[in-house]
Structure 1
Amino acid sequence: MTSNPAPCVGIGWRHAHYESLLEQRPALDFIEVHSENFFADGGITLAVLDAGRAAYPVSLHGVGLGLGSAAGLDERHLERLARLVQRVQPAWVSDHACFARVGSGLHAADLLPIAFDDESLAVMARHVEQVQSRLGRPMLVENISAYVGWGGGTWAEPEFFNALTQRSGCGLLLDVNNLFVNARNDGLAPDAAVQAAMRWVDAVRPGSVGEIHLAGHCERADGLVIDDHGSRVREAVWQVYAHTIRRLGPLPTLIEWDTDVPALDVLLAEAGRARAVCT
């Protein structure tokens, strides 16, 4: 994977902005949707997605594959994704480095953290290769925010992703907000968390990142920091993002906003700030 030579910025296209985006046609380079919201074989949602695809390149971002699940992938889920990819011909296809399925197919409906060890790497690589083989294209895998962890890991997280991208041929979807959130939940003060997130970025293999996510987070009274995608990108995360762009060059960047979704103009303003950082 190589970086784009010019800024490429998009927003997550959510239900609240289906109509306004199509009416206003703002200057965006792409839009991103959650794949699972469009798994139906027909109906109004697919018609809306077709209209969006006619206006902008689309990125399909999934939350349900559970690439790190030792129980294996859900073949029905993968087939639905493959049909959607065939229909949309997206610019990127992505999902998360997490597990979600256990036993005979029970799905946690959440992004649960994996251990960063050889066994997890083997599972992840095998499943990524399975998805890429079925889709006929490389995918991106996102680093997640995690509120619990596994002891005894043998890989530092960025080195784990370096190994995964080399072994499977996938790219990294680098969520910069998640880096900061995890550092804060590790007990670091904001300034130290910024530095830790920057060191994470510095450890990434150049050329492996295919897309960047930016989002807001909230800090609870008990000190826990939650990746809720419900506010503007925090200044500390903008610092990490600017460092990332300086090191890796301008990369496709998405503004995510999934809760307490504001007016479209607010997302466009955040996208404009990301574009200014990349310029």
Structure 2
Amino acid sequence: MKKVFHGFGLGLRKDYYSEILATQPAVDWFEIISENYFVDGGKPLYFLDAIREQYPIAMHGVSLSIGSTDPLNKLYLKKLKSLADRINPIFISDHLCWTGVGGINSHDLLPLPYTEASIKHVVERIHYVQDFLERQILVENLSSYVTFAESDMAEWDFVSEVVERADCLLLLDINNIYVSARNHQFDPIDYLKGVPAQRVMQHHLAGHSDYGEYIIDTHDAPVVDPVWQLYKVAAELFGPVSTMIERDDNMPVFSELLAELNYARTIAEPIYTQQQTSVVLPTAGRYHFASPTMAMSVQEQHNG
């Protein structure tokens, strides 16, 4: 199966519903926060359905808690599957993390110890989720602020083992790599080079808050120059990867987000054009990944 490139997208936020429908901006796709649409009706679904008629939609979750030792939440999975069946998303993703234990929700994305035991635990749960949804999912690397003393491998080695053994895909958040590299003092290029290129299906780009000795992933500011530079390296290493801008606070006028998105295009598209290559993904097996009517293969994109 050829790697599917959907172009350049934005996070779909309620601030922009009406403007998107009125102006139909030059955005290739939008990404929703899945949990915001676990409702039976009302304005969220009304606008989602209307925008879905014009644009492909990706689903991005924050509550799967794939790394927790609590049982997977079956009601949550049913709601996730129902929404996916409704909108046929190009991606379903969540974070490689845990969000709570013992029935207590931390309301945060918490890192895992990078150990063989953690790999086995997470892989088993990803298999279950993919079987339940009948789709491959993407898992996203975190920004982190603490590490575990028992970790015995680098984060990128841990992530690589998880996605390979689980036969899932990787949402590689470029800002998160930069944040964690600064906080834990590793080379972000080592991270990029350490993950399996054929599994990288999506990129996130976002802003953060810099406090000098540490930085926090806040999604409330424009993407900074070092992250753009890291994104350029990612484009060179991974080839065409669907990319989006995340913004969740201090929401700017929509035109500012469009300008950021177009800047991502100016970085990546010349590299993609120069490469003129298609990338083959691992066989998806019994899972389906993206609607064939929604995107071209990389090779088809290049050939016009």
* TM-score of the aligned structures, taking structure 1 as reference length: 0.93
**RMSD (CA atoms):** 1.4
1:53 equivalent in structure 2? 52
Q: Within 1, Cα distance between the matches of 2:234 and 2:226?
A: 13
Q: Within 2, Cα distance between the matches of 1:65 and 1:85?
A: 14
Q: Within 1, Cα distance between the matches of 2:125 and 2:62?
A: 15
List aligned pairs for 1:221-232, cutoff 5 A. 223-232=213-222
Q: Which runs of 5+ in 1 are unaligned?
A: none
Say if 1:72 and 1:127, in contact at 8 Å, map to a contact too: no
1:86 equivalent in structure 2? 85
Say if 1:141 and 1:171, in contact at 8 Å, map to a contact too: yes
Say if 1:12 and 1:257, in contact at 8 Å, map to a contact too: yes
1:114 equivalent in structure 2? 112
- CA-CA distance at 1:2 after TM superposition: 5.3
1:42 equivalent in structure 2? 41
2:180 equivalent in structure 1? 182
1:236 equivalent in structure 2? 226
Say if 1:214 and 1:256, in contact at 8 Å, map to a contact too: yes
Give 1:225's aligned amino acid: I
- CA-CA distance at 1:4 after TM superposition: 4.1
Spell out, residue by residue over 1:233-277, the C-alpha distance to the aligned partner (whole angstroms, 9 max, x if none). Answer: 100000100000001101000100111010111111111011111
Spell out, residue by residue over 1:144-185, the C-alpha distance to the aligned partner (whole angstroms, 9 max, x if none). Answer: 111122112122111112111111111010000011111111
Give 2:137's aligned amino acid: M
Say if 1:215 and 1:232, in contact at 8 Å, map to a contact too: yes
What is the aligned counterpart of 1:217 among 201, 208, 216? 208
1:146 equivalent in structure 2? 144
List aligned pairs for 1:59-74, cutoff 5 A. 59-74=58-73
2:254 equivalent in structure 1? 264
1:245 equivalent in structure 2? 235
Q: Within 2, Cα distance between the matches of 1:202 and 1:224?
A: 24
Spell out, residue by residue over 1:23-53, the C-alpha distance to the aligned partner (whole angstroms, 9 max, x if none). Answer: 1111111100100000012222111110111
Q: Within 2, Cα distance between the matches of 1:152 and 1:106?
A: 24
> Matched residues, percent identical?
38
Q: Which runs of 5+ in 2 are unaligned?
A: 270-304
Q: Go from structure 1 to structure 2 and tell me whether the alpha carbon gap of 1:2 and 1:106 turns closer, same or farther (over 3 Å shift).
A: farther
Q: Go from structure 1 to structure 2 and tell me whether the alpha carbon gap of 1:98 and 1:2 turns closer, same or farther (over 3 Å shift).
A: farther
Q: Go from structure 1 to structure 2 and tell me whether the alpha carbon gap of 1:244 and 1:3 turns closer, same or farther (over 3 Å shift).
A: farther
1:203 equivalent in structure 2? 194
SS at match of 1:55: coil
- CA-CA distance at 1:89 after TM superposition: 0.5
1:159 equivalent in structure 2? 157
Give 2:188's aligned amino acid: A
List aligned pairs for 1:7-18, cutoff 5 A. 8-18=7-17
Q: Within 2, Cα distance between the matches of 1:23 and 1:205?
A: 40
Spell out, residue by residue over 1:59-84, the C-alpha distance to the aligned partner (whole angstroms, 9 max, x if none). Answer: 00000011100112111111111111
Give 2:63's aligned amino acid: G
Q: Within 1, Cα distance between the matches of 2:71 and 2:189?
A: 33
Spell out, residue by residue over 1:205-257, the C-alpha distance to the aligned partner (whole angstroms, 9 max, x if none). Answer: 1201010000001112x632010011111000001000000011010001001
